[in-house]
Amino acid sequence: MGKLIVRIASLLLIAAFLPTAVLAAEWNLENGSIEITATANAGGGTTQTVSQGGSSAEDSNPTITSKGQQTGNTITINAGAGTTANVTIKDTNISPSSGNAAIKTEGKGNVNLNVEGTNSASSGDWHAGVEKSNGGKLTIGSESGEGKLTANGGEYGAGIGGGDAQSGNDITITGGEIIANGGGYGAGIGGGWYGNGSDITISGGEVTANGGRFAAGIGGGWSGNGSDITISGGEVTANGGEAGAGIGGGYLHSGNDITISGGEVNATGGTTGAGIGGGFNGDASDIAISKDSQVEAKGGAANGISDWGASIGCGGNYNGTPGEEVSPDTSGLYTTGKVERKRGDGTVLDTIIGTVEPPKSASAEEEPDKREPLYRVLNLDGSTLKHQAETADGVLTLTVSADGAVLTGTLRALGYLQNQGIEKIAFTDGTHSAELVLADLIAKGQPEDVYVLTLGAENTLTLNGEAVDF
């Protein structure tokens, strides 16, 4: 720790004699539409440029606002191949004329959209509220944890995902309060009219997804499948529109490969649609619910054409028969998890309680203080450092753009992450990298103990100021 203090002091002295670089400026949408372009540069990094009103400037992480005022001006984010565009929206209220998307992503790269303050993105007909057209991932989150985004699709567009005849794929939500309302024929999160919804991941936040007519809450739009949908944390409410599943397929289409491994999930089918699974006349398969998930699945009611939808399974059929129930794989469900099933005729089927004992962790006996962050990412001088967070296969990857960085928190918070399915944290600044195995570190101390992982020429890890191996 002494070496760290000396190093920080040296950096502060050096910084006092350096010119200040203006990055992450604030841009006001009231001055015109904004386009952000991320391109790979000769040094192997990314150059990000913001253009507005005929002028442009480099900005590695711009903050875009309308200061709460409604505007018809829009945001377009173009991420080139091999790049990740980083953009923050703060107190924006975007409502363009018909034929335009409020926020649109393009290019072959990835886009990280950080949400702060209160934001609304309401697109015109044929477009999604936040229209995902880039070839890589779209990740939406809130670094503060308090940002809110309401995304309203126009007719034929999803709330977040595809526009007219477009699929909504490779979408990840990590935090914040996210409300996604599909327009007519568009999913809340997923496909637009005739669009599938796939590779959709929710790992945190408070997420509400409402499908438009004939579309799923999360998954397929009109005549679109919902597949490879993963929920590992957060509070998720998914409501299907008429003939759409809560989570899964839209009208006439299926819900497959749906995995829930944490969080609170309430999925309700629209009329004739399944809570989780197929839309009207759609099938369902490969649905798994595990760990400490809290799931309530309700099928949609019958209408004059078809019978009711399953709680978990198929939508109602043309021939007037109800949707067939499909037994989810609950072999990995903890004794602290449960699945409540209610079919579309109002019948309560059952409540499934898991049989697997949850792993013991630092948070097993004590929940963390809700004011306590799960972790903090800092510059070497102790100031807050923006970062990108991605979760996949039990690994939380934290990426920063800096020469050296600090990750810190309590073992109690690590235990909470562990209970959400995180087994390892991968921390990198692009030059230096380190990994923490949560179970190994938790076993070294008490819930209130504080760890500090420092990236640099020599990565170090301390626990309450004492160096530990990792």
pLDDT for 56: 95
Claim to verify: residue 129 and residue 269 sit in the same structural domain: yes
Claim to verify: residue 285 and residue 342 sit in the same structural domain: yes
Residue 338 within a domain: yes
User: 229: which 2 tokens?
Assistant: 């949908």
**Which H/E stretch holds residue 13?**
helix 2-15
Contact (CB, 8 A) for 136 and 172: no
Phi-psi region of 126 (alpha: psi -120 to 50; beta: other; left: phi over 0): left
How far apart are the C-alpha atoms of 183 and 244, rounded to whole Å?
13
State the virtual CA torsion across 211, 215, 221, 227 in degrees, nearest 10: 90
CA diameter of the chain: 78
State the virtual CA torsion across 123, 93, 209, 292 in degrees, nearest 10: 150
Q: Strand runs (DSSP E) across 166-290, as ranges?
A: 168-173, 177-181, 189-190, 197-202, 206-210, 218-219, 226-231, 235-239, 247-248, 255-260, 264-268, 276-277, 284-289
Claim to verify: residue 42 and residue 168 sit in the same structural domain: yes
Contact (CB, 8 A) for 273 and 208: no
Partners of residue 296 on adjacent β-strands: 266, 340
Residue 367 within a domain: no
Residue 435 within a domain: yes
Residue 3 within a domain: no
- Output the pTM of the full model: 0.75
Among 292, 319, 353, residue at a domain's last position: 353
Going residue by residue through the chain, which has 470 residues, state the pLDDT in tens, using 9 for 90 and above.
333 333 333 333 333 323 333 356 899 999 999 999 999 998 888 999 999 999 999 999 999 999 999 999 999 999 999 999 999 999 999 999 878 999 999 999 999 999 999 999 999 999 999 999 999 999 999 999 999 999 999 999 999 999 999 999 999 999 999 999 999 999 999 999 999 999 999 999 999 999 999 999 999 999 999 999 999 999 999 999 999 999 999 999 999 999 999 999 999 999 999 999 999 999 999 999 999 999 999 999 999 888 999 999 999 998 889 999 999 999 999 999 999 999 999 999 999 999 998 876 544 444 444 445 788 899 888 888 888 888 888 899 999 998 899 999 999 889 888 888 899 999 999 889 999 999 989 989 988 899 999 998 899 999 998 998 88
How far apart are the C-alpha atoms of 238 and 332, rounded to whole Å?
23
User: 304: which 2 tokens?
Assistant: 């004059």
- CB neighbour class for 362 (10 Å; exposed up to 12, middle 13-18, buried from 19): buried
pLDDT for 304: 82
Question: The domain containing residue 30 runs over which residues?
Answer: 23-353
Claim to verify: residue 330 and residue 268 sit in the same structural domain: yes
